[in-house]
Amino acid sequence: MGRYRELIRPVWVEIDLSAIRHNLAEIRRLVGPDVDIMAVVKADAYGHGAVQIAKVALESGAKWLGVALPEEGIALREAGITAPILVFSPLQTEQVEAMVRFDLTSTICLLEPAVALSRAALSAGKKPSYHVKIDTGMGRIGVPAEEAVAFIKKLQLLPGLDYGGIYSHLATSDERDKEYAKYQIKRFNKVIVDLKAEGLFPAKAHLANSAAIIDLPLAYYNMVRPGIMLYGMYPSSEVDLEKIRLKPAFSLKTKVVFIKKVPPGTAVSYGRKYITAKETTIATVPIGYADGWSRLLSGKAEVLISGKRFPVVGAICMDLCMVDVGDEPVEIGQEVTLIGSQGSEQITVEEIGAHLGTINYEVVCMISDRAPRRYLNEN
């Protein structure tokens, strides 16, 4: 439907690209000029739109892109992006031909897929790159740290492959207590020392996620992987919030599509969960749980209209929800902000996450593509 999507239904996400540029500049200020930045754009750039964010990130100094899935990397290639792309999920045998064809850097932590990648590379006459994922304490995927050197030695016997890097992931870097994160750094350092002793240290070593970029310079090495901070959100409230000034890029907006004045005792929405206590005005907005505006926000969330807060009332429906605007003179077509700012008021992603008992990452990822992304400050 293209442009018609934005004309037909007044629900959209605004992405401020100037905020992305600002956040990258702040990351660069922290890590210095000699550390490469891998912009993490998995999950459609945390709901912000992977192609657009990737292009802005690369224009703003990022050298690498990180995605979770091969198909995410392929979409970036098909959009004309030629920068190195690391796929974080462990390479599977059935993926090797696509990884070679689209010049995607694999994550390897099992031998069998590496053998298959070698065969595919020789068949295609290409030399695909890979990074070895090392488990230093996350307990998710990766070669155990004490087995890493022996594993990498085996990989060196496979022809047609480019051993480009090693990396690991920190489990608790967003917590106030950094002891376990420092333990993981120590284990990663031991692997590096052992690899250097064997002449096997690769071009890239990376460990720092957003929280570590803020709090743990020891984890920088020669590349860092900003994710949530790239989009202007802090990884938690326990990191040093004064060390970096981030600007949120994400706003969720809609418009009023129906208004009615109702008497006291009026039931609103499924289950009659909300009964008006007095005469009031109920405004309906065309967003619901099919858009990712969770039903769990019913009776909890507020929205901004004319720079003022009003409560979401009654059960949130699949495609609609209701707002009690009292005696505020609201009009059909008036803009409503569900996440973002109006005047001096702001509803943050973190506020919505608190209502849902979850993290800011999940909130932005759950807003579906029924809400088109509109980009501000593209130039």
Task: Give ∠ CA 233-106-23 in degrees, rounded to 5.
Answer: 20
Q: At 100, phi and psi to the nearest 5?
A: -70, -45
Reported as type and span, the H/E element at residue 137 is none
Look up residue 62 and give its two tokens: 């990022």
CA distance 81 to 141: 28
Residue type (1 letter), 201: F
Among the options 186, 270, 273, 278, which is catalytic?
270
Reply yes or no on whether 42 is catalytic.
yes
Residue type (1 letter), 137: G
Q: Provide CB contacts within 8 A for 245, sequence distance 6+.
A: 26
Residue 309 burial by CB count (10 A; 0-12/13-18/19+): exposed, middle or buried? exposed
Look up residue 239 and give its two tokens: 């990191």
Q: Provide CB contacts within 8 A for 338, sequence distance 6+.
A: 252, 253, 254, 287, 293, 301, 303, 304, 347, 352
In eight-state DSSP terms, residue 35 is S
In which residue are the tokens 């992305």 written? 20
Q: Provide CB contacts within 8 A for 296, sequence distance 6+.
A: 355, 356
CA distance 282 to 165: 57
CA distance 339 to 312: 13
Residue 162's DSSP bridge partners are: 129
CA distance 180 to 27: 24
Chain Cα centroid distance, residue 317: 26
End-to-end CA distance of the chain: 25
The residues annotated as belonging to the active site are: 42, 270
